[in-house]
A and B are shown apart, each in its own frame.
Chain A
Amino acid sequence: MTKITIGQHYPTDSIIHHLDARVKLIGTIMYIVFLLFVNHYAGYGVAALFLTGIIALSKIPPRLIFRGLRMIVFILIFAAGINLFFTAGETVLFHFAFIRITLEGIMMASHMAMRLILLVMGSSILTLTTSPIQLTDGIESLLNPLKPIKVPAHDIAMLMTIALRYIPALAEEMEKIMKAQKARGADFDTGGLIKRIRSMLPILVPLFVSAFKRADELATAMEARCYRGDINRTKMKAMKMTRTEFIGMGVMICFGGLIFLTRLL
Chain B
Amino acid sequence: MILGEKLTFEYAAYDETPPVLTLKGVDITVKAGEFIAILGHNGSGKSTLAKHLNALLVPAEGTLWIKGADTKDAENTWRIRQTVGMVFQNPDNQIIATIVEEDVAFGPENLGVKPTEIRKRVDESLAAVGMSEHSLAPPHHLSGGQKQRVAIAGVLAMHPECIVLDEPTAMLDPSGRREVMETITKLNRESGMTVILITHFMEEAAQADRILVMDDGVLVMNDIPRNIFRQAEAMQKLGLGVPGVTELAHELRRRGLDVADDVLTIEEFMSDKAIKSLL
Contacts and interface: CB of A to CB of B under 8 A. Distances in A.
Contacts of B85: 224-225
A111 B110 CA distance: 49
B98 A9 contact: yes
Interface residues of A, number: 34
Contacts of A236: 101-102, 105, 108-109, 115, 118-119, 122
Contact of B99 (A9, A213, A228, A238): A9
A221 interface: yes
Interface in B54-90: 54, 56, 78, 81-82, 85-86, 88, 90
Interface stretch (B8-16, B27-35, B137-145, B242-250): B137-145
A120 B184 CA distance: 47
A224 B56 contact: yes
Contacts of B109: 233-236
B80 to A, nearest CB: 10
Nearest to B82: A226
A58 B193 CA distance: 42
Given A236-B109, A238-B115, A226 B158 contact: yes
Contacts of B268: none
A232 B96 contact: no
Given A224-B56, A225-B158, A236-B105, A217 B112 contact: no
B277 to A, nearest CB: 52
A238 B112 CA distance: 12
Interface string B88-104: 10101111111101100
A221 B107 contact: no
A218 B140 contact: no
A167 B102 CA distance: 18
B110 A225 contact: yes
Interface stretch (A37-45, A83-91, A158-166, A241-249): A158-166
Contacts of A262: none
A227 B77 CA distance: 11
Contacts of B113: 234
A237 interface: yes
Contacts of B97: 133, 161, 165
Contacts of B112: 232-234
A214 B115 contact: no
A169 interface: yes
B106 A225 contact: yes
Contacts of A233: 109-110, 112
A169 B139 CA distance: 10
A162 B139 CA distance: 13
A217 B54 contact: no
A168 interface: yes
Contact of A226 (B101, B105, B110, B115): B110
B102 A131 contact: yes
A27 interface: no
B155 to A, nearest CB: 7
B98 A7 contact: yes
A228 B106 CA distance: 12
B238 to A, nearest CB: 27
Given A221-B88, A225-B106, A227-B110, A234 B98 contact: no
The 9 closest A-B CB pairs, nearest first, are A221-B94, A236-B105, A217-B93, A236-B118, A226-B110, A232-B112, A225-B107, A238-B115, A224-B86
12 contacts: A9-B99, A11-B99, A133-B98, A161-B98, A172-B140, A221-B88, A224-B85, A225-B154, A226-B78, A226-B81, A235-B105, A235-B118
Interface of B: 51, 54, 56, 78, 81-82, 85-86, 88, 90, 92-99, 101-102, 105-115, 118-119, 122, 136, 138-141, 154-155, 158
